Structure 1
Amino acid sequence: MESIVPIRGNVKHAITLDPTVWIFDDRRIDLDIFFTEDFVERDEMEEYKEKMGKHWSREIMEGATYPPTLKSEKRYEKDKMLTGSFAMVLEPFIHNAVPNASASTFSLITKDNEKYTYPLSDATNILFKFSHEGKPLREDGPVHVLFKDGSNQHSPIRHVQAIEVD
């Protein structure tokens, strides 16, 4: 099974997505909490600024040494990556492909050549699930398509092989 997903069609840059490396991407969404009330949408830039501010303050107050909890925090993150289920929002990838002005829709194409067509504006509401319980989706992947509203959480679109911008 192919583990890459090309974005092609009416775009300035045809690009290829490799879901096997997304586990290291900070934009990944933890699906174990996403469809619960505990999930809070976050502003990545604000989160980064806050994290850097805390780091700077800690270095000023304590010096450049790291507190003993940092090791356990890193261990927790590693364990979470090995056991969690994760997804990525589709929109930034389509944005990076730079759809032409005449483009209005995109289609998700499965290995059986089924097409699921959506307006480009819906890309912000589509998640690409790439990991289930710490494992890549090898059997019916490389990605599953989930909607942010959770309407297809238990029956996602599987076997997505390409994205065609029209």
Structure 2
Amino acid sequence: MSEIIQVKGNVQYQITLDPGVWIFDDRKKRIDQFFEKNEEDDELLTYQKQVGKQWDRELQEGAVIPTGKSEKAFIYKKDISGDWGIPFAPFLNNSNPGENVTKVVCYFEDGNTVEISWEEALKGILWFAVDGKPIRENGPVYFLYGDGRNRMSPIKGIKAFEIV
């Protein structure tokens, strides 16, 4: 199984995707977060809520004195557990697709293909980690439609994407 996926076709730049490094990418989200219907997409509002929670905690519990253990390491370890995905659109746009693209074709190892409309692909999500670990079985990514209609049965085993 290859751990990388190519994006090729009607593009100016053929790119290679390496899902193994996306766990460090700021664009990643937990899979559940992609399908929540709320207004917390506003970064300023999210920041203000986090600061407010910290302020409330310090008022109730007092300031926490550092123990010498790295809280950052704890947060990092906590953050990577769970199922993770990343929006597909930035990668498609970075390939600089041609003006008349209509679809993205997913290629599988057995030679089969699945076609996704360009609009659906731009809204799509690449699911790259389960329980904080890279997807090995039928991986390295699963494709989810942006509305989550295939969440229980994502498109698996993708080896390449061709923009047509």
TM-score range, shorter chain: 0.7 to 0.9
* Maintained 8 Å contact 2:121/2:145: no
1:159 to 150, 157, 160: 157
1:150 to 116, 126, 148: 148
User: Corresponding residue for 1:78?
Assistant: 77
Q: CA RMSD in A?
A: 2.5
Which amino acid is the alignment partner of residue 87 of structure 1? G
Q: Secondary structure at the match of 2:122?
A: helix
Which amino acid is the alignment partner of residue 80 of structure 1? D
Q: What 5-or-longer segments of structure 2 have no aligned partner? A: 52-64
User: Corresponding residue for 2:123?
Assistant: 125
User: Corresponding residue for 2:108?
Assistant: 110
* Maintained 8 Å contact 1:109/1:161: yes
Distance 1:102 1:137, change over 3 A: same
- Superposition TM-score, scaled by structure 2 size: 0.77
Q: Secondary structure at the match of 1:75?
A: helix
The count of aligned residue pairs is 145
1:97 to 95, 98, 104: 95
Moved over 6 A (4+): none
**Cα separation, 1, equivalents of 2:154 and 2:125:** 10
Distance 1:146 1:40, change over 3 A: farther
Q: Secondary structure at the match of 2:21?
A: helix
Kindly report which structure 2 residues correspond to 1:44-59, keeping only aligned pairs within 5 A, or say none.
46=43
Which amino acid is the alignment partner of residue 4 of structure 2? I
**Cα separation, 2, equivalents of 1:106 and 1:87:** 19
